[in-house]
Structure 1
């Protein structure tokens, strides 16, 4: 992949972080690639490195570089970490399939976890890399995703409470509309935006919307839930759901 004529390679997975980790792992496995690999964090550094005579492997981090063709003409390979939602392409594309359950659990066990712990983490996160990294059993000092503060609290809380629903089921749509206090069409418009961001907490499979990891979602947005939020939602929750999900013990603090 990193031999022959220089080119741009888009690495796409469920999250930009997973794509970035894959790119770095590829460099770490080869001393030659590692010696040529450079992570670039801004456009000015990018412009400076393009005129370097030695053939480099350039990895832009959290910005969209310009002059990709010029970089390739100067002998540089470019690895661009992206999500699967990106549609445009200049260069080759590598799509990373989600690791199957057996291999993901084996990978967790290789980190020193026992089988029971590894299976628990997989169950809590559905095997998605970003929620795994934030799982409490791994004691990670995680960075809060941008979407936590970009979307309205009502949208996030409603999504967490309902967890999974059918976008063509009128009863599901009515419940969501009441919880979010907006029309379902407006709610789904926001949800489509949420699903397209890096490290998204939701996914859509056909007509089914799902929260990827309830535990991870709860940890990330629980600070937004206060006594007023609980009181305003309580009557609606009991009306439309009968009982709240016992897996959540909401604190009034």
Structure 2
């Protein structure tokens, strides 16, 4: 009775409950992982380097996103969305585990900015691929109704990560809390594997016979720039996004500056 009431209230049709619950659960796990990653890597970075290095990290993040975006664009039409999701998640988890091993075995300070860049890059990459992944499993009318419900999973996971980090600080050292990040990521990968083993591949994805390689991605960027110059609407959207990024990072730097003095430096 309660299940039917919730489904009716949220406009979830009976044959959509499975997909909705799956994607909501996946978004919660990825939101949890991103929350863990953000909190842990920022603290590790700020305790070793401080806020004065953040502008440099933001520039390196932009460069990292450009490179990963080109690579992602070259394979997204070749690899099935669920398989690419597993590759992204497991690869990220493997890098985190490798970083943890290096932290335990040596005092190389560059590990901390590398982890910070990993978190910032994968945060945006996961966000892009999750939406593409959903679009390959739900048709347009389903996406309009179910996307707000599914996207709420990111916020739910973020809130859960805050609670988890608070509890984790009582029993774990900061570097060992990286395992919380790894656990959330691998849980998401296992969920993706279980779902698609049981229900098959994404129904709306059709792989291209010939992939778009990095050279083709660069060509697509040139075409996009050319089209932007001719389209006032697209140009306005690009400028809006540009200033939105500035509006996002400016208060973030100010907030980090305000709290930086509360974090003891560990040099």
Shorter-chain TM range is: under 0.3
Larger proportion of strand: 1
Higher RCO, 1 vs 2 (CA within 8 Å, ≥6 residues apart): 2
Structure 1 length as normaliser, TM-score?
0.26
Structure 2 length as normaliser, TM-score?
0.25
